[in-house]
Structure 1
Amino acid sequence: MPAVSVRALWWALLLVLVSATARAQTAPPAAADLDAFYDQLNAYRTARYQPLPELEALQLPATFSGAELKALRLQERHIVRIDLVYTAFRLNPTFNQRQLNLSRIRNLAAGVPGLLQDESVTWTLVEQTGCNSPAECQPFFHGFVVYVARHATAATMRADLDSLTRKLRILEKKRPKASKKAQGKKVACNLPGSRFSNRQMARSLRRLYRCPQREAQVVQFQLSVDARGAIQTVKVLPTARPVCVAELEEAIRKSVAFTSGFPIDRRMFPFIAKGAIRLPLGPLQLLGPPDMGFTSFALPDSAARLYRVFLKKKNKQHKNDYCEARITKKGELRAAADTAAPELALPPDANVVSRVLQRHPEWSKEVVVTDVTGSMFPYTYDLLAWLQLSALEDEKTFVFFNDGNDQSDKDKRVGKTGGLYHVRTDSYEAIKNKLIETMKAGGGGDAPENDAEALLYAQQLAAAPDSAELILIADNYTFPRDARLLKNTTAHVRIILCGVHDYINPKYLALARKHGFSLHTIEADLLDLSKLLEGETITIQGQQYQVTKDGFKLVRKT
């Protein structure tokens, strides 16, 4: 065979191999795989779709072209969420919306390789019900709404870091540094007095609450009380299993009474009391803990600007739980916030970290693990502001992570991404400096982070690794790429979710249910998710989620 023919044969073979590889990379998913993927999607109905205001939304019509797809510029930013939006109206009653939706998702996946495998992307089906004819439905949007976020780069991280240091400098000028030497003058403080013991409250509750309850769960409740000790509101917090909420709230109202407001510095203040009830209510036991009791007390924001209150557990010197209070300068926190750097548009839950930590003063021994990548900037500031304004009494361990010290996304390996920094101290300055060091070393890059790697690192730093208590401050919109590393963890993790505006990321609900973790938002504490069974639903902040074989999905939005 002539040499030229051999070369031609090799070129032809190479062309076949390249073509086959290209087809494999863009091949549509198998029908069964796509059906399984579709069945797990979040889905809700609304009169007319409104994009989320907190994220950058890009509209991609159902009949999108390659040019429109290219205009998304996904090489510069990453996808956070995709909503497939359509209308419920049908001209033909036999029309199959599911098949059309599957076709649209298949087309989008072919144009964005790896999209269906990206666990950090949240998918939602949105059916619009506000039109009843072709003419009415014509102006309604049909297609994909793609929510994106910028890739964190060295430049964007420098800008975030400049804003952070500016805001902290302003805050530091407005009040003395939080330290043991400058905590403010100590003043008299007593916990609000209850007219009834825990056993008396449990006895009353057992008489008043008759709702059937077979399976065990702990129900959290919250009371707002005025300065005279009169109960103003009673709220049962979201539960893992159904309860008769209205009946339980009324039973709590009738079973609880306080002798006064919160006594501090010879004055009475309104306060917030949190408690827990163990259901089902059993017969009254002479020994063992009662079925009802209080877990924490807190001042409202107006009083908290006057005093810093520290709740203490009983010890050798004190037979019961008690409190300590120190006076502070009125309005300093508000003034610092009002004069902070104006260029940053803060999200609605920008103070979620401080709010959760305020309502859980009992979290004193936990190791704090914090995502400090670009998406978390407002919450990083909130953590530092909280630490500066709340003097640390004991050494505490902090682990900060930046998802790999700015290494290329393609080089990141699960469990070996790096970018982990820790400090154990009671010094605000040392904590701030370590956090800034972590931010300078990297901004994160792509969406998913290495939260699990950071948690396992923190667990080994704990005094008792096998039973470590960890607090993870995480981004609701980006799910960790390495969650599978937590398969055998024995740590108890409390996850503070940042960026919960429209919904809780169902992947975090699934993670908490699988490992027995708890989730905490600016409004709610979600406990005992592991007790939910497949098929059960739970309502959280107006949204209804259903437990599925593989996790959770949003099924109704109010």
Structure 2
Amino acid sequence: MLSVSIKAVLLAGLLLLLTGAAQAQAPPADAALSSFYDQLNAYRTARYQPLPDLEALSLPSSFSGADLRALNLQSRHIVRVDLVYTAFRLNPTFNQRQLNLSRIRNLAAGVPGLLQDESVTWTLVEQTGCGSPAECQPFFHGFVVYVARHATAAASRADLDSLTRKLRLLDRKLPKKKKGQGKRVACNLPMSRFTVRQMAHHLRQAYTCAERTPQIVKFQLTVDEHGKTRRVQVQPPRTPLCAEALEEAIRRSVVFASGFPINRRQFGFTVKGAVRLPVRGWRPLAGPDLAITSFALPDSAARLYRVFLRKRNRQHKNDYCEARITRTGELLAAADTTGDELPLPADANVVSRVMQRHPEWPKEVVVTDVTGSMFPYTYDLLAWLQLSALDEQKTFVFFNDGNDAPDKDKRVGKTGGLYHVKTDSYEPIKNKLIEAMKGGGGGDAPENDAEALLYAHRLTSDSTDVILIADNYTFPRDAKLLKNTTAHVRIILCGVRDYINPRYLALARQHGFTLHTIEGDIKDLSKLVEGQIITIQGQQYEVTKDGFKLVQKT
């Protein structure tokens, strides 16, 4: 830190310079400001380095009204504020907290509504790389304000042009989907150890729960390449009296002798089915109480082979599959970044990476933010879909935060800009996504994620398993709408640059959601207790009364 005398001069200068810059807004009360400060993220680093992927504007300790006007908040919005200072102190009695509170108060006076804007992430950054006034002099002291430009019609058109160019490039690199294209290879459905009738008989013996309410319960098995069942999950809603007992009974009854055989190789797979309760084994008129409804391969297998699952016909007495070999390679990374294209973020392929990491996910309902900040990730989603086998219908909901409605007119729960499609084909999904992007680019930072999630849930009332693709730095304005949700939401966070937005951690803890980044998966946050400090992907967070806050960054 600087000496006390230097700090006193700087603090006096701040107060004088900001007198003219302050707007006609009452300053925050001391208690409210102190409470706000106590919840801020905070970490230490040898020397502060601005994030490379965001537009950063520096406001030194001696910032003026002119510096504030240079932020040009008419055409862009603040997404993050870092207050940067040094740990060195010449006088042990110096109070860094009081100086930081004064700085925040002055900034808030110059930018009305800043402290009340829940979409802005605040961080205290203490630099530890200097040990004297001379060494600390070149270190930055003040605010680093990260901004994002408001979406405009011109920017949206540029994003769409770039997206279509990238998709055309990817399409040229993919094998054409023509009849007879590619060498046909051997393919058989996984062999089960029992017939369906035998499975139903085993299930009746294994499941002894006294079910009385007639119902159909769906289930999903995840099976490895050796035919061993790794996971059984009764699909939501979990209405059976003894759901865990039913899952164990299915595990013992639905048994496979191998993986999914294609071209003399074995692959893991997922299998879906249904059980009729109460279980009686075999009913003369209705047949067995257990049915296998579909198989699905992981995306890694879809990269190697195009597999088509066929229903029985005159030539085939049972369901069967066909497969053709295709080219392999890192086609998802085939983005065209030449010319005036912006560099892609480090996690530009987070969607495909997470989807490939979890072949067991149903992936039946996907909700995606398609505002301007999400452009690299919408391409990644389409690229993943183009390389994947869409064997079953899936529901996609795309949202653009209001179809370019003015920010002042956006109402929680009624923002709009929602587009959906249910299909098992790639082209309708791509067309609907592009239609949503044409409809609007977003505008301000917060989006209407919760409105889109609830809309998807209404469209697919038989499924409560939803994947949400969201921006790490733009927390939804309407999260309170999820208060009574029963959906199990898996949130793929895009744009995680240095740490996970604590608001998403709090949302996941409150509702039992899971979070997924390019590095890994974050689960079971609801089991944490207040005051606990945990490490998530190298960063330490403290569980607070109101959620989470970053307390140490490595």
Is TM > 0.5 for Structure 1 vs Structure 2? yes
SS at match of 2:80: strand
Structure 2 partner of 1:173: 172
Q: In the superposition, relative to structure 1, how do residues 83 and 336 fare at CA in structure 2: closer, same or farther (>3 Å)? A: closer
Give 1:86's aligned residue. 85
- Choose the corresponding residue for 1:541, options 522, 528, 537: 537
Inter-CA distance 173–508: structure 2 relative to 1 (3 Å threshold): same
Which residue does the alignment assign to 1:520?
A: 516
Alpha-carbon separation, structure 2, partners of 1:309 and 1:146:
50
Shift of 1:169: 1.5
2:356 matched residue in structure 1: 358
CA drift at 1:183: 9.3
Contact in 2 for aligned 1:183/1:391 (Cα 8 Å): no
Aligned 8 A contact 1:476 1:499 in 2 = yes
Q: 1:415 to 1:136 in 2, by over 3 A?
A: same
Alignment of 1:122-271 (within 5 A): 122-176=121-175, 185-188=184-187, 265-266=263-264
Contact 2:169–2:336 at 8 Å: present in 1 too? no
Residue matched to 1:331: 329
Q: What SS does the aligned partner of 2:483 have?
A: helix
Counterpart CA distance in 2 for 1:339 and 1:51 is: 23
State the one-letter code of the partner of 1:134: P
SS of the equivalent of 2:171 reads helix
Deviations 1:324-378 (A, max 9, x none): 9752113372684468877231111101001111111222253110000000000
Name stretches of at least 5 consecutive residues in structure 1 with no aligned partner: 1-21, 192-224, 226-259, 273-295, 312-322
Corresponding letter in the other structure for 1:58: L
SS at match of 2:93: coil
| Residue type of the alignment partner of 1:552 | F
The residue type paired with residue 35 of structure 1 is: S
| Aligned pair partner of 1:426 in 419, 424, 429 | 424
Q: Judge which range, 178-187 or 119-128, deviates more.
A: 178-187
Cα distance in 2 between the residues matched to 1:535 and 1:181: 62
Are the counterparts in 1 of residues 472 and 496 from structure 2 also a CA contact under 8 Å?
A: yes
Q: Which residue does 2:238 correspond to in 1?
A: none
Separation in structure 1 between the aligned mates of residue 298 and residue 363 of structure 2, nearest angstrom: 19
CA contact (8 A) 1:352 1:379 kept: yes
Letter matched to residue 367 of structure 2: V
Rounded Cα–Cα distance in structure 2 between residues aligned with 1:183 and 1:426: 22
Question: Which of 545, 549, 552 is matched with 1:553 structurally?
Answer: 549
Distance of 1:179 and 1:434 partners within structure 2: 24
2:434 paired residue number: 436
Find out whether 1:496 has 2:496 as its counterpart. no
1:405 aligned residue: 403
Deviation at residue 397 of structure 1 after TM alignment: 0.5
SS at match of 1:404: coil
CA deviation profile, 1:126-151 (whole Å, cap 9, x unmatched): 00011111000000000000011111
Structure 1 residues 397 and 26, CA, compared in 2 at 3 Å: closer, same or farther?
Answer: same
Q: Are the aligned partners of 2:333 and 2:349 in contact in 1 as well (CA < 8 Å)?
A: no
Which residue of 345, 351, 365 maps to 2:343?
A: 345
1:185 is displaced (CA, Å) by: 3.9
1:149 & 1:486 partners in 2: Cα distance?
A: 27
Q: How does 1:277-288 map to 2 (within 5 A)?
A: none
Distance 1:332 1:187, change over 3 A: farther
The whole-number CA distance in structure 2 between the counterparts of 1:390 and 1:304 is 6
**3-state SS of paired residue (1:382):** helix
Structure 1 pair 60/261, CA: closer, same or farther in 2 (3 Å)?
farther
Render the CA deviation track for 1:216-256: whole Å, top value 9, x for unaligned.
xxxxxxxxx9xxxxxxxxxxxxxxxxxxxxxxxxxxxxxxx
Higher RCO (Cα < 8 Å, 6 or more apart):
1
Partners in 2 of 1:99 and 1:90 — Cα distance? 14
Using the TM superposition, give the Cα deviation of residue 309 of structure 1 relative to its aligned residue in structure 2, in angstroms: 8.2
Distance 1:339 1:107, change over 3 A: closer
Q: Is the CA contact (8 Å cut-off) linking 2:185 and 2:262 kept in structure 1?
A: no
Return the alpha-carbon distance in structure 2 between the equivalents of residues 77 and 36 of structure 1.
28
Gaps of 5+ in 2: 1-20, 191-224, 226-257, 270-295, 310-320
Q: d(CA) in 1 for partners of 2:436 and 2:511? A: 28
Q: Distance in 2 between matches of 1:298 and 1:544?
A: 33
- Letter matched to residue 403 of structure 1: D
Q: C-alpha distance in 1, partners of 2:431/2:382?
A: 10
Instruction: Name the CA distance, whole Å, in 2 between partners of 1:26 and 1:415.
Output: 29
- The alpha carbon displacement at 1:173 in A equals 2.3
In the other structure, the counterpart of 2:198 is: none
- The answer as to whether partners of 2:303 and 2:387 remain within 8 angstroms in 1 is no
CA displacement at 1:170 relative to structure 2: 1.7
Alignment of 1:61-72 (within 5 A): 61-72=60-71
Which residue of structure 1 lines up, in the alignment, with residue 107 of structure 2?
108
Contact 1:306 1:329 in 2 (8 A): yes
Query: How far apart in 2 are the matches of 1:325 and 1:501?
Result: 40
Deviation of 1:535 after TM superposition, in Å, equals 1.0
Amino acid at match of 2:406: S
Q: Are 1:380 and 2:378 an aligned pair?
A: yes
Q: Once the 2 structures are TM-superposed, how far is the Cα of residue 308 of structure 1 from its aligned partner?
A: 6.2
Query: Any conservation in 2 of the 1:178–1:391 contact (CA below 8 Å)?
Result: no
- CA distance in 2 between counterparts of 1:181 and 1:396 reads 26
1:459 corresponds to which of 457, 460, 463: 457
Aligned-partner residue type, residue 147 of structure 2? V
Alignment correspondent of 1:532: 528
- Aligned in 2, Cα 1:335/1:95: closer, same or farther, shift over 3 Å? closer
Task: Determine the C-alpha separation between the residues in 1 that align with 2:449 and 2:70.
Answer: 32
Question: What SS is found at the alignment partner of 1:26?
Answer: coil
Residue pair 1:187, 1:265 contacting (<8 A) in 2 also: yes
Structure 1 segments (4+ residues) deviating >3 Å: 22-25, 176-191, 260-264, 266-269, 296-300, 303-311, 323-326, 334-342
- For the 8 Å contact 2:54–2:146, the answer to whether it is kept is yes
SS at 2:140's partner residue?
coil
**Structure 2 CA distance for aligned equivalents of residues 99 and 480 of structure 1:** 32
In structure 2, C-alpha distance between the alignment counterparts of 1:354 and 1:388, rounded to whole Å? 11
The whole-number CA distance in structure 2 between the counterparts of 1:46 and 1:404 is: 40
Change (3 A) 1:426 1:306: closer
> Against the structure 1 CA distance between its residues 186 and 107, is the aligned structure 2 distance closer, same or farther, given a 3 Å change threshold?
farther
Determine helix, strand or coil for the equivalent of 2:467: strand
Aligned to 2:366: 368
Farther off after superposition, 329-338 or 50-59:
329-338
Q: Which amino acid aligns with 1:496?
A: I
Residue 247 of structure 1: aligned partner: none
Contact residue 170 and residue 339 of structure 1 kept, 8 A: no
C-alpha separation between the residues in 2 aligned to 1:543 and 1:463? 37
Per-residue CA deviations over 1:185-204 (Å, capped at 9, x if unaligned) read 4545899xxxxxxxxxxxxx
Q: Pick the aligned partner of 1:505 from 501, 508, 532.
A: 501
Count of residue pairs the alignment pairs up: 437
